[in-house]
Every structure is written in C-alpha cells, then in structure tokens.
C-alpha cells in the first residue's frame, strides 16, 4: 500500500465535482507515476472529499485492495482528523451519535441528521480555543459521506470554509475548508505492529492556526 498526503481542492476521481467543461483534473490522473515498478498503478482504498487534505490510502494491487477494503469496512483502521471550526461545542469532548441521510439540496445534495439515515458516530475533543475559533481532533467510528462535517456543524462547530454545513459568514467562506486527515493507523499484518502514517496540514491551515494561536 501507499499513503499519500492528498492536497485540498483536488477530487480523488473523475465525477461531477471534478468536471470543468469536458472533464476535469483529479488525483487518479497521477496514479501511473506511483507504480514504482509494478505493472499497474495503485487504486483508492477509500475516499476523501475534494476540499479535505491529508492521509489517503492506496492499494498497490488487487489483493491489497481487498484486504484494505475489509479493514475499512470492519472499522479496524483508525482515522484521526484535525479541523478548525467556527464557534465551539458546549462540551470539550464527547461522542456524536447521530444517523446521517443523504438528501437533495439545491442543485446538489448534502447529508442531514435523520433517524431514517445510516448509523454514524464520531468522537471529538477540543485541542485549543481562541478568538471565536476552536481546533478539534475528530475520530470517525463509521465511514459515512461528509460525516465529520455534518456532525461538527450539528454541535455548533461548523468547519471553517465549509460551503455546505453550518452558518458561516461570507468572510468565513473565503477560507479553504479546514479539515485535514491527520493520521491513519492500519493493522495490515497480524504479526507486526500497525502501520502509522501522519500528514502535515496545508500551509493555509497552519498559517491560520498560528495567527490565532491554535497550536497544531
């Protein structure tokens, strides 16, 4: 497998979010450069949103992809995200247990908390708070689309720069979305310690945190 630090703003694969006229750029366009001697390029073992940066796991061949797929589906891969949010939750740490349902929204879609949705759980803790912003570490226990974004918004801490969730001012939306996949822990072998990979946040997130004394 490979773990790469995905840049924000680039979709992982072709689709509506990457189309600009006739098609659009996406991360899979560059996978051929990551073969490192193998006959085929790696492939995605999971997904990250277009505007989320950080740890993205790739399988280098079909057998690896099947194993990684099982580990993700069984919830055995621990994922840690960093987020800079507007406002702060009432509790400094906790578990958000709220089902999520994909619904139509304007010309697109979003997920909403709804009892008819799929089970979704996220643990979080506040690592820093200043100037009306907070720095949150979040760990999704399930793998639902937009899970962290919707869950943090639901407890009063929408992610800064997120165009879909929470109530943000026009100025807040000028920032890139400040959600970063900080760490993955992958138990790839029964006889070895889990593989731990960490990715540094993008410069925009690091600079904002430094400006507001939110130590990453």
Indicate which residues carry an active-site annotation: 49
Which residue in this structure is represented by tokens 């000028």? 174
3-state DSSP call for residue 196?
A: strand
User: Two tokens at 8?
Assistant: 């924000």
User: Do the Cβ atoms of 147 and 42 come closer than 8 Å?
Assistant: no
3-state DSSP call for residue 2?
A: strand
The CA distance from 47 to 13, in Å, is 9
Nearest to 4 by CA among 208, 196, 171, 197: 197
User: Two tokens at 59?
Assistant: 């399988």
Q: How far is CA 58 from CA 27, 65, 132, 214, in A?
A: 11, 8, 37, 31
The CA distance from 135 to 133, in Å, is 7
């Amino acid at each position: 497998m490979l773990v790469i630090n995905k840049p924000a703003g680039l979709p992982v694969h072709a689709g509506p979010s990457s189309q600009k006229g006739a098609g659009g750029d996406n991360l899979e366009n560059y996978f051929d450069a990551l073969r490192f001697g193998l006959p085929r390029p790696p492939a995605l073992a999971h997904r990250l949103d277009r505007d989320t940066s950080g740890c993205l796991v790739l399988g280098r061949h079909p057998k690896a992809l099947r194993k990684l797929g099982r580990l993700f589906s069984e919830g055995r891969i621990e994922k840690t995200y960093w987020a800079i949010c507007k406002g702060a939750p009432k509790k400094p740490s906790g578990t958000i247990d709220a089902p999520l349902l994909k619904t139509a929204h304007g010309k697109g879609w979003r997920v909403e908390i709804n009892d008819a949705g799929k089970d979704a759980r996220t643990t979080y803790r506040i690592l820093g708070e200043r100037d009306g912003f907070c720095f949150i570490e979040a760990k999704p226990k399930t793998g639902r689309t937009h899970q962290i974004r919707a869950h943090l918004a639901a407890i009063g801490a929408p992610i800064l720069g997120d165009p879909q969730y929470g109530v943000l001012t026009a100025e807040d939306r000028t920032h890139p979305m400040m959600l970063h996949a900080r760490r993955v822990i992958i138990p790839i072998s029964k006889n070895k310690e889990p593989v731990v990979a960490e990715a540094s946040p993008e410069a925009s997130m690091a600079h904002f945190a430094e400006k507001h004394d939110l130590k990453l």
